[in-house]
Amino acid sequence: MKISANTAMGRLLLALRAGGMTAAQLAERFGGNSGISQLVRAGLVTGDADGYRLTDAGRAACPLRNPLAARVPSAPTATLRRIDPAPTGEISMANKRTRIKQAAASVTVPQTREQAAEAIREIGERQRELCRLTADMNDELAAVKERWETAADPHKQRIDALTEGVRIWSEANRDTLTQGGKVKTAALTTGEVQWRLRPPSVRITGQEAVLDLLRRLGLTRFIRTKEEVNKEAILNEPEAVAHVAGIAISQGEDFAIVPFEAELAGEAA
């Protein structure tokens, strides 16, 4: 059985890697002849009244979407449990929830409770797909970055060594190269060496002690005070500034959708 991210069997395994699916969900996504029975016979998928899930062998056989990504060792099969949604929260790849903010767009509006629930189910499925695509992208970027950094490292080391050598030689011959200090640039056949003064900078050691000493010496012109409106205090006493022009207090409302998610037992926070 040939399994890759581009074959029907590979796409089935990738879909089940995100979580268990019922027969109805498989038929809706892959059609009536999804090939799930072939994966069950091969021992890659197990099924019962609750739906179909990957076995350990199925996780090991699951193809990588990105051919450059490193193979990740399969995790042991664990019991899945549903996590009830919190009032607010965020979802990331590590046991957090994602809040989807409503955006203005031309959309198909659900007409029934069941249609709304189905739309939320699809939102959760596409969220997980985006997480997988993001992970695959980061795997590929990391592999590309590592490859080019490995190729560039010998050049960087050689540049640093040559630069230090030229600096030592230039310092030893500085009087000749700068015509006794008259110039700060010396031209060689392939380039220039230059001496440039950096802009002056101030370094403060012991901030509070320096501030106290400047005040006692009457040198307060060297102390800079920043003034800004205290927004937190305004929120605590909005009535006190109700008549002040330029201050307005507003409060909006966001609509959020939090699809149900499952996590591996034993990994809950």
Distance from C-alpha of 191 to C-alpha of 54, rounded to nearest angstrom: 64
Over residues 9-23, the mean pLDDT reads 80
Over residues 114-124, the mean pLDDT reads 91
**27: pLDDT strictly greater than 50:** yes
**45 vs 222 pLDDT, higher one:** 222
Q: Which residues neighbour 65 within 8 Å (Cβ) at sequence distance 6 or greater?
A: 5, 14, 132, 133, 136
> What is the model's pLDDT at position 2?
67
**88: pLDDT strictly greater than 50:** no
Helices 8-17 and 23-30: crossing angle, nearest 10°?
A: 130
Per-residue pLDDT reduced to its tens digit, 166-202: 999 999 999 999 999 999 999 999 999 999 999 999 9
Percentage of residues in the chain having pLDDT higher than 70: 79
Over residues 91-118, the mean pLDDT reads 69
Binned at pLDDT 50, 70 and 90, residue 234 comes out as very high
Distance from C-alpha of 159 to C-alpha of 157, rounded to nearest angstrom: 5
What domains can be seen in the chain, in order of their start residue? 1-63 (1.10.10.10), 83-196+253-269 (no CATH)
Which of 70-74, 154-158, 197-201 is predicted least confidently?
70-74
Binned at pLDDT 50, 70 and 90, residue 76 comes out as very low
Phi/psi at 51 (nearest 5 deg)? 135, -165
Q: Which residues neighbour 118 within 8 Å (Cβ) at sequence distance 6 or greater?
A: 110
Binned at pLDDT 50, 70 and 90, residue 49 comes out as confident
> CA-based Rg of the chain, rounded to a whole angstrom?
32
> What is the model's pLDDT at position 73?
43
Q: Tokens 């664990």 — which residue?
A: 78
Distance from C-alpha of 174 to C-alpha of 130, rounded to nearest angstrom: 60
**145 vs 267 pLDDT, higher one:** 145
Percentage of residues in the chain having pLDDT higher than 90: 51
| Mean of pLDDT over the chain | 81
Q: Tokens 């038929």 — which residue?
A: 27
**161: pLDDT strictly greater than 70:** yes
**82: pLDDT strictly greater than 90:** no
Three-state secondary-structure class, residue 21: strand
Helix/strand/coil percentages in the chain, nearest 5? 45, 10, 45
* β-bridge partners, 81: 263
Q: Tokens 């009457």 — which residue?
A: 218
**87: pLDDT strictly greater than 90:** no
> What is the model's pLDDT at position 266?
60
> What is the model's pLDDT at position 267?
54
Distance from C-alpha of 27 to C-alpha of 15, rounded to nearest angstrom: 12
AA letter at 191 = G
Tokens of 3: 């399994």
Nearest to 58 by CA among 129, 1, 6: 1
Check: CB of residue 97 under 8 Å from CB of residue 48. Answer: no
> What is the model's pLDDT at position 85?
47
Tokens of 115: 């249609």
Long-range contacts of 41-50 (CB under 8 A, 24+ apart): 42/1, 44/13, 45/12, 45/13, 45/16, 47/23, 50/20, 50/22
